[in-house]
């Protein structure tokens, strides 16, 4: 075998507990972690709480629907000032619909239309394996540790460091910029049985060295598998999302 071919083979391997595994092994593990986090298609109710350093809180309640790897839509149920707003994410593209304003407005992943530490990409998170590749992985008797690199420069974070328990349930993510600066930490807490075989964290908490003293929390109250037609994830449907609620 030629030396150049050997170099290519070894460059595609990552170190995993002292043994060499292909990058495909890492990406397959990431897909399983995604699968443990959410059904492929689902509906969910979530509460988001923004907490300021002085203890003041602002709360939002969302109805969320998702299909496949990268289609997600969200309806604001409260507060009253936001009720009826919807957001839509298709891969890297995001929109905000405000009743009585007209057509949907383009928004970006790094913006935060609810304020606080979570940005739009955090709130409308698609499957991690849709946006990232595993470049390194390791494990011990209690956990897996994955290092991820964004597939392109439109992703909110250039690198992620991800921790998952041995049962492949996500526990923590550190989000980094291309320069290596830590932007925020996401912690996944309070394991809950949501039924239909889904056992996952019910709380996601985030904090950031860029927003000292601030904290944001998302609490999942319901998650149910549900199939949707593709038309649900279109701009024309953004004003009709409330009709999906049963």
Tell me the pLDDT tens digit for each residue of 158-170: 999 999 999 999 9
**pTM assigned to the model:** 0.87
Q: Per-residue confidence at 13, pLDDT binned at 50, 70, 90?
A: very low
What pLDDT does 198 receive? 93
Q: Is 25 exposed, middle or buried (0-12, 13-18, 19+ CB in 10 A)?
A: middle
- Residue 134 pLDDT greater than 60, yes or no: yes
Average pLDDT over residues 114-129: 94
Prior bond to 206 cis, omega within 30? no
CATH no., domain 20-244: 2.50.20.10
Lowest-pLDDT range of 9-13, 41-45, 98-102:
9-13
CB neighbour burial string for 166-180, b if at least 16 within 10 angstroms, e if fewer: eeeebbbbbbbeeee
Average pLDDT over residues 100-121: 92
Domain ranges of the chain: 20-244
Chain-centroid distance, C-alpha 159: 14
Rounded-to-integer distance, Cα 111 and Cα 218, Å: 17
User: Could you tell me which of 205, 199, 231, 246 has the C-alpha nearest to residue 73?
Assistant: 231
Q: Per-residue confidence at 120, pLDDT binned at 50, 70, 90?
A: very high
- Residue 67 pLDDT greater than 90, yes or no: yes
Average pLDDT over residues 146-163: 95
- Residue 104 pLDDT greater than 90, yes or no: yes
- Residue 133 pLDDT greater than 90, yes or no: yes
User: Could you tell me which of 156, 121, 165 has the C-alpha nearest to residue 32?
Assistant: 165
């Amino acid at each position: 075998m030629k030396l150049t071919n050997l170099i290519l083979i070894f460059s595609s391997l990552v170190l995993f507990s002292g043994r060499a595994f292909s990058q495909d092994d890492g990406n397959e593990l990431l897909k399983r972690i995604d699968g443990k986090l959410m059904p492929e298609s689902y509906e969910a109710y979530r509460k988001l709480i923004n907490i300021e350093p002085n203890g003041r809180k602002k709360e939002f309640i969302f109805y969320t629907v998702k299909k496949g790897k990268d289609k997600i839509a969200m309806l604001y149920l409260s507060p009253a000032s936001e009720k009826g707003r919807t957001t839509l994410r298709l891969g890297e593209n995001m929109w905000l619909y405000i009743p009585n304003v007209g057509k949907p407005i383009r928004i970006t992943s790094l913006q935060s239309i609810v304020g606080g530490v979570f940005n739009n990409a955090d709130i409308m998170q698609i499957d991690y394996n849709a946006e990232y590749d595993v470049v390194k992985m390791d494990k011990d008797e209690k956990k897996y540790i994955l290092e991820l690199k964004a597939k392109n420069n439109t992703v909110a974070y250039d690198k992620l460091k991800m921790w998952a328990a041995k049962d492949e349930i996500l526990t923590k993510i550190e989000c980094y910029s291309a320069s290596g600066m830590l932007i925020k930490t996401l912690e996944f807490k309070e394991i809950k049985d949501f039924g239909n075989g889904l056992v996952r964290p019910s709380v996601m908490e985030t904090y950031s060295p860029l927003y000292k003293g601030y904290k944001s929390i998302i609490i999942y109250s319901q998650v149910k598998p549900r199939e949707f037609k593709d038309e649900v994830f279109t701009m024309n449907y953004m004003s009709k999302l409330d009709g999906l609620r049963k």
